[in-house]
Structure 1
Amino acid sequence: MTDSDARATAALALDLSPVIDGHNDWAWECRLNRGYSVDGLEGGLRSDTDIARLRAGRVGAQFWSVYVEDTLPGADAVQATLEQIDWVYRLIARYPDDFHLARTAGEVESAQASGRIASLLGAEGAHSLNDSPAVLRMLARLGVRYLTLTHVHNTSWADSGTDVPLHDGLTERGVSYIHELNRLGVLVDLSHVSPATMHAALDATSAPVIFSHSSCRALAPHLRNVPDDVLARLESNGGVLMVTFVPQFLSAAYSDWFDGPRTTPAPPVTVSDVADHVEHARAVAGVAHIGLGGDFDGTDEFPAGLEGVDGYPVLFEELARRGWSAPDLAALAGGNVLRVLRATDAAYLGSSATPPALEL
């Protein structure tokens, strides 16, 4: 396929389905570096994200990560998570022609039809709950549509992939949290968790899961990546792996360099490496079970060609050159995760009419 044909195929795919990205830490970046200001975000920023670049990248919907560090003590983590949610609400109010709050698949489609970027919320790490199902229920009412079960460290009921395991996956209370997430229509996000937690959650859930920002362990054996025996379960579960662009999750050579003294230049990581992970996930899980979760503004470096949110079309052109059709690229861009949202929307909208699966 010529470069011209690849560009045309990528453009058609993004017309069929704009990008729905699973994870962006712009709110956290603005907490750290802008005092939570929502002014001056139109373009030309040093961050990976701004409005002009989102438009250039054909981003039609974004799960904004309402992340806080898991070293914050319980109630402080809850407060900081609410501050993150408030930032997203203020972003939408400040730029109403560009953003629209979305909680359901229908609201995503309505925002896109009006030319705005659908803004969804995802809470990264159950430490944000202070082990309170009531907090979870209130976050759901504020629009949070996924919960990452852990971050870097274990919670009291789930093992992280980057901590010493304590629970062999999930405790009994952790299983009850999965049931409550299912009842609420809040997606179970298995990025950051251990393989044992992945399997336990897949055993417990009655709804599709997501990995909001992870890649494939078969290609890069990082603890944050997903083993093939887990990927193979997504077809029966209906879930989606959203491939991330973090270099140490894409390349073993880069990961070794990153964890070492860094006295030599970093090994190159490019859009081709991302495409390799996307193709591996398709081969193992199936084309209906893949998506994208760039993790922009969540790490310092990104692959060449994907340095910011304007880079998505470059990835789609690379995959088109590898023979991907426009419909398959559209499924990757957003069609698959939109299906997962739609499958859980009824639970999300109706949860107030059903009794909690987990009380205080």
Structure 2
Amino acid sequence: MINSQYNPTRRTLLKGLGAASLLSPLASLPSWAASQRLYVDGLSFLPSDLGDVRASKLDAFIADISAIETLTQADGTLNYKRTFDACIKSIKQAADTVKDNPEVYLQGLTGTDIAKAKQASRTAVYFQIQGADCVEQDIANVNSSANWQHLSTLHQQGLRVLQLTHHYGNQFAGGALDNDGTQSLDLPLTPAGHQLIEALNHHNILIDVSHSSPQTALDTAKASQSPIVQSHGAARKFVNHARCSPDEVIRAIGDSGGVFGVFMMSFWLTTKANPSIDDYIRQLEHINRVGGVDCVAIANDFSLRGQENLLALNNDNSQGVKEYLDWWDSLRAKNVLGFEVEPQHVVIPELNHIDRMSRIDDALAKARFKSTDRDRFMGGNWQRVLKTVLL
């Protein structure tokens, strides 16, 4: 059973600040709304074509720079380990790419770098690793939150967002797809995970619970002294799937002062046969209703231009979904929640496009969201969290 005893104090504070701001028409506008609206993507990748950065219109994005090792588990399914050796190499390569293209990129090290990048007509890039496997070696030697050698080294190289796990659990956290062969498990944050949360807070690294089990996410929200995020995910209200988050998790993230980024993988956004941009807006509306206006954010989880194979197929979902079916079937055989329903699509065609941020912005306006809400959703909430955590 999910333990939902998280601390509501931080959300109460956010609400109080919002109420106080109504006393002045000028104060009701957050500082980031005074200039042109920010566009921030919660998860993508450094593109091979630098032209994609300009075309995306992004002021900032969180870039997964992970390098993975593919492992076959005992039950025959695949898992992916982000080892330290692989990730330290990949983060140095990513830093070199950003440094070599100063007319396009600014490496994001603090939350204020978004404003700096925007002023210089550049795009701030914040490095993320999708899984804490890269610091598992630290557990054997750690005796304080400050003594995490591998974590410190990665931070020095530019790591600013760390996801606790990717699909499956590790020494720190339960994974969304963990399973005992008969039912989905909801594994908690481990004792080592609590140590990791303390270390991430100490290093001012943003904690990402994407791919975590619901209980791990709730435990993390309670344990962290800083806001936590789900950089990319979806609400379980619309798709009853292990990879989607129940309302308790969305609410806990909002209560922590964090954000929930809704991503572009349509089989986790809607069960309809033909997904549309309206389905994406419904997800944002639900995050707003459950987590609050300061919780809503945009994410991608594909390359900046979109899911490449679907683009090559002119967004023909009936053909593109085939590449996912073997993996899907392997999880269905393990009885993981939601995999009993075969997916019919991968992308929302209107959003599998380099100009998705403008299209989402326009759709929010059509749905009659206030301009100040759109400011928050499209980038302001991400900027606030990054400024809060990345000191």
User: TM-score when scaled to structure 2?
Assistant: 0.72
Among the aligned pairs, what percent are the same residue? Answer: 26
Superposed displacement of residue 335, structure 1:
0.9
Alignment of 1:1-360 (within 5 A): 16-26=36-46, 41-43=49-51, 50-51=52-53, 55-69=54-68, 71=70, 77-132=83-138, 133-164=148-179, 168-253=187-272, 267-297=273-303, 300=309, 301-346=346-391
Which protein, 1 or 2, shows the higher relative CO under an 8 Å CA cutoff with sep ≥ 6?
Answer: 1
For 1:289-320, what per-residue CA distance to the aligned partner results, in whole angstroms no more than 9, with x for missing partners?
11111112385542111113321111111110
Superposed displacement of residue 56, structure 1:
3.2
Distance, in Å, in 2 between the alignment partners of 1:127 and 1:171 is: 14
Superposed displacement of residue 76, structure 1:
7.4
Q: Which runs of 5+ in 2 are unaligned?
A: 1-31, 72-78, 139-147, 310-345
For 1:230-270, what per-residue CA distance to the aligned partner results, in whole angstroms no more than 9, with x for missing partners?
212233310100111111211235xxxxxxxxxxxxx3222
For 1:155-208, what per-residue CA distance to the aligned partner results, in whole angstroms no more than 9, with x for missing partners?
122110012278831111111111111111111101000001011111211110
Superposed displacement of residue 70, structure 1:
5.8
Q: Which residue of 2 aligns with 1:4?
A: none
Aligned alpha-carbon RMSD (Å) = 2.4
Relative distance call for 1:317 and 1:167 in structure 2 (3 A) is closer
Q: Which runs of 5+ in 1 are unaligned?
A: 1-11, 28-37, 44-49, 254-266, 347-360
Query: How many residues align structurally?
Result: 301
Distance, in Å, in 1 between the alignment partners of 2:59 and 2:130 is: 21
Q: Secondary structure of 2:41's match?
A: strand
Distance, in Å, in 2 between the alignment partners of 1:107 and 1:113 is: 10
Distance, in Å, in 2 between the alignment partners of 1:98 and 1:120 is: 14
User: TM-score when scaled to structure 1?
Assistant: 0.77
Relative distance call for 1:84 and 1:164 in structure 2 (3 A) is same
Tell me which amino acid in the other structure corresponds to 1:121. F
Counterpart contact for 1:239–1:289, Cα < 8 Å: yes
Relative distance call for 1:76 and 1:120 in structure 2 (3 A) is closer
Distance, in Å, in 2 between the alignment partners of 1:131 and 1:220 is: 36
Q: Secondary structure of 1:119's match?
A: strand
Q: Secondary structure of 1:232's match?
A: helix
Distance, in Å, in 1 between the alignment partners of 2:241 and 2:215 is: 15
Distance, in Å, in 2 between the alignment partners of 1:42 and 1:66 is: 16
For 1:323-349, what per-residue CA distance to the aligned partner results, in whole angstroms no more than 9, with x for missing partners?
012211111111111111111233xxx
Superposed displacement of residue 228, structure 1:
0.5
Superposed displacement of residue 13, structure 1:
7.5
Q: Secondary structure of 2:59's match?
A: strand
Distance, in Å, in 1 between the alignment partners of 2:186 and 2:88 is: 28
Q: Secondary structure of 1:233's match?
A: helix
Distance, in Å, in 1 between the alignment partners of 2:129 and 2:102 is: 23
Query: Comparing 166-175 with 221-230, which one deviates more in the overlay?
Result: 166-175
